[in-house]
Each structure stands twice: as structure tokens, then as C-alpha cells.
Amino acid sequence: MDENRRNFLKKAGSAALGLGCGFPLLMAGCSTNGHSSEENSSSPNQWAMVIDVQKCKEPAIRAACIEACRKEHNLPTNPPPNQPAREVKWIWSDKFETAFPDQAHKYLAENPADLQVLLLCNHCTEPACVKVCPTAATWKRKSDGIVMMDMHRCIGCRYCVVACPYGSRSFNWRDPFPDRNDIDKQARKEYPTRSRGVVEKCTFCAERIRLWQERVDKDPKLLESEPAPIPACVEAANRVAGGEGALRFGNLGDSQSEVSRVLRDQNTICRQLALGTGPNVYYLV
Ligand code: SF4
Ligand code: SF4
């Protein structure tokens, strides 16, 4: 194992374990521990995702990813009536021409208006959302580049929602579980529910990264069979016929990771690179 990878695993372990914070605080970020300005600087290690646009043309694959994330993270099922813009979503499907307005042209092999792509937070290298938050409720984790969210610190100003050029953040305009009994019936106990008035978004399944790290710390040989954590959406896509490899996840700081190899060997695009945010979600086209 090279030194860079060893250091990454060590640092990711500390971050993933929340440096002593309990699970609910970890998931919401760690308000007792806080996060220094150093946390917001860039890291040589970066979790990243590669999405295969052709494979994700299959609606069942996109639906499985969206549903897996919703269930895993206790997202409300339905958008408020007649207000789709107020839906709470971490991963969603939209037209290629909407997601890639600078790439869609009339000579594309497929009509960009017909082609649907999966979208989520890009865990940007220079996240516009982090720069505007007045309470440091969102920050870029130095150990592994994930842009985290601390719902305890969020005051609901929505500056980050406006600043994100990708529409990756959702605001809870209403109580996600207005009937408290629904929490018992529908919510996963292992993941915290949120309340009205806070912002949320994809965390690259930080909770799964933490559990993976714990297992690897106990038995480093596991890295051979499980070199990276598997986010819920990635796992769900793999389970659908034809969906294996539709989404791939790994560390860009490791030149031997699967995502590094794919980016080296195949043509990929990112959303609106000209904006300078440095997205870490890539699309195989
Ligand atoms: S996609 Fe948006 S919410 Fe995610 S890190 Fe980039 S600017 Fe922030
Ligand atoms: S990586 Fe995890 S949190 Fe992000 S969209 Fe996929 S399932 Fe949801």
C-alpha cells in the first residue's frame, strides 16, 4: 500500500469516526467538534463518482438509485402538492440538456431532450455553497473531500441553496414527517430524520464510509475485496439487470482506484466546468 493511500485511510478513519462524536452528530456533521478553516482547504484525496450515461438510460436503474437513497436517508416520499421545486432530493433524474447546457448540441447522436441523466451533489473542489454559509454549517472535509452538512448548525438562510449552481441542495419547507407516527412506521432508525427549516443534500453516504473504514481498520486485508465504500445508489444500480458499473465510486487520490482508471482510460464530462467549482461527479458519455 503506498504512503498516500495509507495516510488517506488513516485520516479518513478519523474523520469518518467523527473524532469521538456519536453517530447522529456525525451524520449531521459534528457540531461539538466543529471544523476548522483547514477543513475547507483542498485535499489530495477525494471521493468521487463516475456515472455511465448510457447505462443510466434504463429508467429502472435511475429509479433504483433514487429510491435507495431516499430510503437510506429518510427522505420524504412526495413533493408538496403542486410544488415540485420544493421536493427534498439528494439524487434525481433530469434531461441531459438541462444538466449539461454547454454540451447539448443538435448533432448529438441522441436528442438531448430525450436523454435523462442522474444528478447529485458534485462534492466540488471549490464548493460555492461552503463559501456563503454564515454559520459554517457546510464544509469540505479535508480528509476525503466530501462536502458535509451539519443540520444542527443550519439556520435555514438558504444562501447555500442559491449559491449552488447545480440545484443540489434541498430546503425543508415543511416537516418531512408531519405525522410523528410516520417516523416509527417509515423511517430507518439508523439514520436521523430532519426538521422543517434546514438544508440537506447528498453526503456520498458518509455513514457507509464510516462503517467501511471501521471494518478496514480492523482488517486491512478487506481492502483487497472491498477497496472503497459502496454508496446506496451504487449498490442499488448494481442490483438491477444491466446496471452493474452504472455508478462507480472511489478515491481520485489513489491512482489505482477504479474511478481513477476510468477517468484515465475513457472520455468523461463534468457539469459546467466553466463555473470553476471543480465537480467530482463525472459522466461517461
Ligand atoms: S454541487 Fe452544489 S452543493 Fe454540492 S458541493 Fe458543489 S456547490 Fe456545493
Ligand atoms: S452517494 Fe449516497 S447520499 Fe449520495 S446520492 Fe448516492 S445514495 Fe444518496
Band of pLDDT at residue 251, cut at 50, 70 and 90: very high
Q: Record the cell numbers describing residue 277, joined without a space.
A: 467549482
Pocket-testing residue among 89, 169, 273, ligand 1, by greatest number of atoms within 8 A of Cβ? 169
Question: What's the CA gap between 211 and 57, in Å, rounded?
Answer: 31
Q: Give the Å distance between the CA of 185 and the centre of ligand 1.
A: 32
Question: What's the CA gap between 77 and 241, in Å, rounded?
Answer: 25
Rounded average pLDDT over 134-162: 97
Number of domains composing the chain? 1
Residue 82 belongs to what domain range? 3-284
Whether 230 shows a pLDDT value over 50: the answer reads: yes
Look-up: residue for cell 493511500? Answer: 5
Question: What's the CA gap between 34 and 229, in Å, rounded?
Answer: 25
Q: Record the cell numbers describing residue 208, joined without a space.
A: 457507509
pTM score, whole prediction: 0.87
Ligand nearest to the CA of 119: 2
Rounded average pLDDT over 218-229: 95
Res 139: pLDDT: 98
Pocket-testing residue among 147, 148, 170, 281, ligand 1, by greatest number of atoms within 8 A of Cβ? 147
Res 24: pLDDT: 31
Res 15: pLDDT: 42
Q: Give the Å distance between the CA of 136 and the centre of ligand 2.
A: 22
| Phi, psi (degrees; rounded to nearest 5) at 10 | -65, -50
Band of pLDDT at residue 42, cut at 50, 70 and 90: low
CATH number of the domain at 202, please. 3.30.70.20
**Three-state secondary-structure class, residue 67:** helix
Question: What's the CA gap between 271 and 54, in Å, rounded?
Answer: 16
Q: Record the cell numbers describing residue 85, joined without a space.
A: 421545486
Q: Give the Å distance between the CA of 216 and the centre of ligand 2.
A: 21
Rounded average pLDDT over 260-285: 96
What residues pair up with 51 in beta bridges, in sequence order?
Answer: 247, 283
Rounded average pLDDT over 139-148: 97
- Strand 170-171 to strand 199-200: parallel, antiparallel, or no bridges (unpaired)? antiparallel
Most confident of 10-19, 35-44, 172-181, 237-246: 237-246
